[in-house]
């Protein structure tokens, strides 16, 4: 990735994660069904922060929060945001992008309407969301899909990976193989593949390391 574009990548990610109105307010998660979204998103990068509020945040609260973001460490920031607006939950984790020269290959299988039945045993929910989740790739073992990478959310410029492996088949590198095929097709579609996870999701971070992904920032969701 070119140096100095971390903030642009974070801007791109917000368009993938959320439905955003003309005033750049969060109106919901960028999902097929209406889903509650955080009242505050902060994307921290080396080249600047990207901040999005939902429409319940008043102008006074917005000004107060904006004065905190650039000048405080994470613990102090969370404490002071909670003083302005009560926080019920926080999601926090690294945001990654694929390197420009990404050229890994994989044997993962693409899922379409013609072969979607192999999802039925382990990932039946994906059968119902097949079109929305494209592209979608799996590793098949014992006649069924045991690991999957699909598009969690998409915009006109990027898509973010969603990865899941059946517990019995974890630790065998299947998730990494799925992500490789997913990212390659996303790039062919002219979109930027993105990958984010939580700090306590060590298996997901392991996939990012194996793929040599570039951490361009940190996502904070306040709900």
Tens-digit pLDDT profile for residues 104-161: 999 999 999 999 999 999 999 999 999 999 999 999 999 999 999 999 999 999 999 9
Whether residue 137 contacts residue 121, with contact meaning beta carbons closer than 8 Å, is answered with: no
Contacts of 124 (CB under 8 A, 6+ apart): none
Give start and end residues of each alpha helix (H) in the chain: 6-17, 59-69, 74-84, 124-128, 174-188, 202-210
Q: Which residues of the chain have pLDDT under 70?
A: 1-3
Q: What is the pLDDT of residue 74?
A: 85
Residue extents of the structural domains in the chain: 6-97, 109-213
Q: What is the pLDDT of residue 218?
A: 96
Cis preceding-peptide flag for 158 (omega within 30 of 0) = no
Q: What is the pLDDT of residue 164?
A: 97
Number of neighbouring beta carbons within 10 Å of residue 185: 18
Q: What is the pLDDT of residue 32?
A: 81
CA gap 207, 165 in Å, rounded:
12
CATH number of 109-213: 3.40.630.30
Measured at the CA of 113, the angle between CA 13 and CA 18, to 5 degrees, comes to 20
């Amino acid at each position: 990735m070119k140096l100095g574009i971390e903030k642009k990548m974070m801007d791109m990610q917000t368009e993938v994660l959320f439905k955003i109105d003309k005033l750049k307010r969060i109106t919901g998660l960028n999902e097929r069904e209406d889903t509650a979204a955080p009242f505050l998103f902060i994307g921290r990068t080396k080249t600047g922060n990207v901040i999005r509020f939902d429409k319940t945040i008043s102008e006074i609260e917005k000004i107060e929060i904006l004065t905190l973001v650039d000048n405080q460490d994470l613990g102090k920031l969370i404490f002071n945001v909670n003083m302005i607006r009560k926080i019920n939950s926080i999601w926090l984790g690294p945001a990654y992008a694929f390197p420009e020269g990404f050229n890994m290959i994989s044997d993962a299988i693409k899922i379409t309407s013609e072969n979607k039945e192999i999802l039925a045993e382990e990932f039946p929910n994906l059968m119902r969301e097949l079109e929305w989740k494209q592209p979608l790739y799996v590793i098949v073992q014992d006649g069924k899909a045991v690991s999957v990478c699909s598009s969690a959310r998409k915009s006109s410029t990027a898509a973010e990976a969603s990865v899941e492996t059946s517990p019995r088949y974890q630790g065998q590198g299947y998730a990494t193989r799925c992500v490789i095929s997913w990212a390659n097709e996303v790039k062919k579609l002219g979109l930027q593949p993105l990958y984010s996870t939580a700090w306590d999701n060590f298996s997901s971070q392991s996939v990012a390391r194996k793929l040599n992904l570039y951490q361009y920032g940190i996502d904070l969701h306040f709900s």
